Amino acid sequence: MSSTRRNIKAAPAPLVCTLYIRPTATRSNWFGALTRYLNLSLEIVDGTGVENFAEIFPLHKTPALITDKDVKVTETLAIIYYLISISEKKDFLGGNVNETTQVIRWLAFFNQDFVQVNGDLKFRAKTEEDKAKALTALNALLAYVDNHLAGNKYIASDRITVADIFARNIITGIKGYANYDKYDKINAWLKEISSHPIVQELSK
């Protein structure tokens, strides 16, 4: 008797969390693609449309997470860590302590330094002088990343990790403010990671 081998895709894990995002924010609008890549079945909600969101999360910030144990988790890096940790793709956060340390280092860098400059350019810089200072700061950050990528294929490891995906989302989210053409290594890296499933989904 012959047997037929079928490719059966694993079913998503049971619903475990509710994740609140802001679809226009680069820090949170990629989480849907991340959870699908991790094969997690979460309820993803636009936090801006939840009337009592400030009651649930007094700081009124997204992303924000409620776990299956009714534990509230805020802050982007903590949520990234939690989601990857409950998935079967734990090495997406690094395969060992050294890799994971570098992943967290770069996540923190993009979440703090780049997002700070993004906020300056979009909201806080009111005068031409302030805008020029913010643009100078952005170019300094881009030059730093470009120099790092001159000796590294990926952001935090010798393979793609969540640091690459998050960095890509932050960098492309503020692309209109600077001339990216001169950053050859960043452009090569963006092309290198463009085939990753999360990037493919975000690029649609």
**CATH code of 69's domain:** 3.40.30.10
Question: Mean pLDDT by 10-residue block, N- to C-terminus, for the chain (204 residues)?
Answer: 44 70 94 96 93 94 94 97 96 97 98 93 92 94 98 97 98 88 96 98 94
Same domain, 104 and 136: yes
The residue range of the domain holding 54 is 18-88
Residue 2 has what pLDDT?
Answer: 43
- Say what the pLDDT of residue 51 is: 93
Grouping H, G, I as helix, E, B as strand and the rest as coil, residue 163 is: helix
Q: Is there a single domain that holds both residue 185 and residue 122?
A: yes
Length of the chain: 204
Alpha-carbon gap, residue 54 to 50, rounded angstroms: 9
> Are 102 and 194 part of one and the same domain?
yes
pLDDT for res 178: 87
The reply to whether 4 falls in a domain is: no
Domain membership of residue 82 (yes or no) is: yes
Asked which of 55, 88, 121 is the last residue of a domain, the reply is 88
pTM for this structure?
0.89
DSSP for 10-39 reads PPPPPP--EEEE-TT-TTTTTHHHHHHHTT
Q: Spell out a b/e string for 95-126, using b for 16 or more CB atoms within 10 Å of the CB, else e.
A: eeeebbebbbebbebbbebbbebbebbeeebe
Residue 1 lies in a domain: no
Task: Look at residues 156, 166, 34, 159 and name the one whose alpha carbon lies nearest to residue 101.
Answer: 156
Instruction: Identify the DSSP state of 92.
Output: G
Backbone φ and ψ for 24, nearest 5 degrees, come out as -95, -5
Q: Please give the torsion angle defined by the CA atoms of residues 85, 89, 90 and 92, in that order, rounded to the nearest 10 degrees.
A: -110
CATH for 159: 1.20.1050.10
> 100 and 171, same structural domain?
yes
> Same domain for 74 and 122?
no
What pLDDT, on a 0 to 100 scale, did the predictor assign at position 15?
58
> How many Å apart are CA 45 and CA 83, to the nearest integer?
16
Which residue, of 88, 113, 131, is where some domain finishes?
88
Q: pLDDT, tens digit, for every residue of 69-107? A: 999 999 999 999 999 999 999 999 999 999 999 999 999
DSSP state letter for 204 = -
Please say which residue of 50, 73, 88 terminates a domain: 88
Place of tokens 């400059």: 117
Question: What pLDDT was estimated at residue 122?
Answer: 86
Does any domain span residue 52? yes
Count of structural domains, the chain: 2
Q: With respect to residue 3, please indicate whether it lies within any of the assigned structural domains.
A: no
